Amino acid sequence: MATPISLPPLPWAENALDPVISANTISFHYGKHHKTYVDNLNKLIPGTEYADLPLEAIVKATAGKADKAGIFNNAAQIWNHTFYWNSLRAKGGGEPPAALKQKIDAAFGSVDACKKELSAAAVSQFGSGWGWLVADGGKLKIVKTANAETPLTQGLKPLLTVDVWEHAYYLDYQNKRADHVNAVLDKLINWEFAVQNLG
């Protein structure tokens, strides 16, 4: 019997990111949206060749297959959200650890320039999606993806992400996506998580 994909616990308390992201937003975003992707995937994969695969393998195996779009969208959104929660922490932002700062300076010129580029990518993502800091081989770059798409399936190594689906910010910021993104980058972004992913 395949083990169902589970909803991973948040890495912090629901109110830990107040006032940048409210407990109310986290309650809906994690407790409803993220949970729904998990519930949907667990309805879609029993009896398929994906039933026994770990989440990341399901994402990679179904990417770009039109007939598997339902499985991909739910699996990738579970993966993206879990990665997103870890990209944030209370009292985040500030200066990245030295090893990461060096790579950021080499790729973008400065931490501020990196944040500006990441903000611009996230804010300009038309409709729903994500802004990402990724490693492409040894070099860092910024990419954006639409809907459930993820750099995982593009041969890139995700380091951090910012969620710009409306449900990530609408209760707190209404239509002010840029205010949300910049507040996340200044006050919540978890540079230590990026360092772990550089590995």
Domain spans of the chain? 23-86, 98-198
Please list the residues that pair with 88 across neighbouring strands: 189
pTM of the predicted protein model: 0.96
Predicted confidence pLDDT, tens digits, the chain (199 residues): 456 899 999 999 999 999 999 999 999 999 999 999 999 999 999 999 999 999 999 999 999 999 999 999 999 999 999 999 999 999 999 999 999 999 999 999 999 999 999 999 999 999 999 999 999 998 999 999 999 999 999 999 999 999 999 999 999 999 999 999 999 999 999 999 999 999 8
Greatest extent of the chain over all pairs of C-alpha atoms, in Å: 51
Q: What fold does the segment set 23-86 form as a domain?
A: Helix Hairpins (1.10.287)
Which pLDDT value is given to residue 84? Answer: 98
Q: What is the DSSP string of 65-134?
A: -GGGHHHHHHHHHHHHHHHHHHTB-TT--SPPPHHHHHHHHHHHSSHHHHHHHHHHHHHH--SSEEEEEE
Which tokens go with 101? 């700062």
Q: Are 84 and 161 in contact (CB under 8 A)?
A: yes
Specify the CATH number for 98-198; select among 3.40.640.10, 3.40.50.300, 3.40.309.10, 3.55.40.20. Answer: 3.55.40.20
